[in-house]
Structure 1
Amino acid sequence: MEKVKIRRELLEYLLELARDFYPNEFAGFLREKDGIFEEVLIAPNPHFGRSSAFFDTWMLPYDESIKGTVHSHPGPNPRPSRADLNFFSKFGGVHIIIAYPFVEDSVRAYRSDGSPLRIEIVK
C-alpha cells in the first residue's frame, strides 16, 4: 500500500484542531515540502458545522505546495462520505480524515478515488 508522510508536530496539531472544533467539523489544506506534509492552511471565511465543513476554494492563494486536504468527522467513522469523495475528485491529491475520538488511531488517508493510503509519521 502506498504511503503518505506527515510530520508528527503537524499531526498533533491537527488532532488538537479536531478536538477544539468538536462537535463541528473542521477542514484545511495540507502543504507538502520534500514529500512530507508539514503545514495546514485554513481557508478564509470557512463554515464549520456539525455535519459538514465548507470553504470557498476560490479564496485560496495560488500555492503549489498544497498537495492535500484534511478534515474531521465528529463521529467514529473515518471513511469518506459521498460528499467527501465528490470533493476529493475535484481537488485531487491526498485526503486525511480525522474521526472521533481524535487520536492517532482514528486518522486515515485516502487518494482522490477514496482508496486508502498508509500514513507514516516522521519527526
Structure 2
Amino acid sequence: MGLIERILDFMGVKPVRRVLIDSDVIEEALEIARRSHPHEFVALLEGKQEGDALHITGLIFLPSRTSDEGAVMDVLMLPPFTGTVGSVHSHPGPSNLPSGADMQFFSKNGLFHMIIAHPYTVETIAAYTRQGVPVGFEVV
C-alpha cells in the first residue's frame, strides 16, 4: 500500500474499485445526447461512494453553452454539497476520446467522467478517471 492509500485509509476514505451507474441515468444521458445532436450536451454526475464502489444515481444540469464543437458548463453555479462525482458529455462525432479541454475539465471536477459518441448507444460510452485513464463501469 502506497503513502496516498495509507493516508486515505487512515482518514476512512476507501479507494474506488468499481463504478455502478443506475440504468435510468444511462438512458437519460443517451436520450439527451440524441436530442442535442449535432450539438454536444454536458451534465454533472450525482452519486456517492459506498464502500469501494462509486454509485452514480443522477444527473445535475447547470447553465451551459453548447455547439457542435464543444460544451461549456458554469460549474461556479453548483450549490455546495450536491454530491457531484464527475461529468458526462457527448461528442457529435464517432470519437469518445477526451480532448485537451476535456482533460482539463476532468482534472478539476470529480472522480469519474463519461463521453458518449455518436450514435449515442451504451457501446459508444467511454469512461475515464480525473487523470484521463480509461475505466470500466457497470449499469445496474
TM-score under structure 2 length normalisation: 0.81
1:51 equivalenced with 2:69 (yes/no): yes
1:100 equivalenced with 2:122 (yes/no): no
1:14 equivalenced with 2:29 (yes/no): yes
Q: How far apart, in 1, do the equivalents of 2:139 and 2:83 lie?
A: 19
Residue from 51, 57, 61 that aligns with 1:42:
61
Superposed, which structure 2 residues align to 1:1-123 within 5 Å?
2-33=17-48, 34=50, 35-43=54-62, 45-122=63-140
Unaligned runs of 5+ in 1: none
Q: How far apart, in 1, do the equivalents of 2:66 and 2:30 lie?
A: 16
Q: Compute the RMSD of aligned alpha carbons.
A: 1.2
Unaligned runs of 5+ in 2: 1-16
Q: How far apart, in 2, do the equivalents of 1:95 and 1:106 lie?
A: 14
Q: How far apart, in 2, do the equivalents of 1:3 and 1:17 lie?
A: 25
Q: How far apart, in 1, do the equivalents of 2:79 and 2:35 lie?
A: 25
Structure 1 runs of 4+ off > 2 angstroms?
A: none
Point out the more displaced range, 79-88 or 34-43.
34-43
Identity %: 38
Q: Which has the larger radius of gyration?
A: 2
TM-score under structure 1 length normalisation: 0.92
Which residue identity lines up with residue 37 of structure 1 in the other structure?
I
Q: How far apart, in 2, do the equivalents of 1:92 and 1:36 lie?
A: 13
Number of corresponding residues = 120
Q: How far apart, in 2, do the equivalents of 1:16 and 1:75 lie?
A: 16
